[in-house]
Amino acid sequence: MTHLPPPPADLLRDAALFLDFDGTLVELQDHPDAVAVDARLGGLIDRLSAALDGRVAIISGRPVAGIRALFGDPHFAISGSHGLEVAWPDGRHDRAERPAALDRIVVQMKAFATATNGVLVEEKPLGAALHYRAVPAAEGAARDLATGLAADAGLHLQTGKMMIEVRVAGADKGTALNALMQAPLFAGRTPVFLGDDDTDEPAMIAARDLGGAGVLIGAPRATAATWRLDGVAQTLSWLEAATESLGQ
């Protein structure tokens, strides 16, 4: 379906809530470091976590450490690097092994970025990404480079909004959601996932297959989601209304 209604305010009753970050909770920026978590968003996540007895997690392509830093060492679960690492509220941190090939890949990506004004390299514990939002004309060259690097190293090629990433294989946001749902904190609840990008579709499918639903953030498109919100501003307003509904 491409034309979907907005989610009802009471959707989160008895739910486990899983949230993408960039493009869902904060507006996309030309550089990942330009993003900040303001008082409104930080307070909202705290209230949601309290209302849902802790059943809130962020599932992001960003590394866990990056999400932690933005929220000031929060106490909710975080799945980072597209499901390749998970930080649990009790302090445990599960993470895949970093391949040595990523060091070489970062060097080659940085050389490309130096030669292509406006392209940025994002280094991650388990991957490296080229961002070309500021120079869309570089998309073809960036994709060609990343495709070759991934093939040479036997790593996964991850596409996204105005970016392309080479990362460790074996996980995605769907496997992340499934892993979190097996934890006692989330088990037996109805999963609801909010996300905006193609990388979020595996989590939409996972939530649906577990009896829950996905909420697409952004313009209508083909998706496994059941509901849709227009953008970040509408998402924050809906989450605030849903939090109030949980208290009634």
Catalytic residues: 20
SS3 226: coil
Alpha helices in 52-190 (DSSP H): 64-71, 101-115, 139-153, 173-181
Give the Å distances, CA to CA, from 74 to 58, 77, 81, 158, 182.
11, 8, 17, 27, 21
Pairing verdict, β 163-167 and 127-131: antiparallel
Instruction: State the first-to-last Cα distance of the chain, in angstroms, to the nearest integer.
Output: 32
Structure tokens at 214: 């996905």
- Positive/negative CA dihedral, 42, 68, 245, 52: negative
Q: Is residue 198 within 8 Å of residue 223, measured between CB atoms?
A: no
Residue listed under structure tokens 């697409």: 216
Element (H, E) at 243: helix 232-246
CA-based nearest residue to 204, from 177, 183, 233? 177
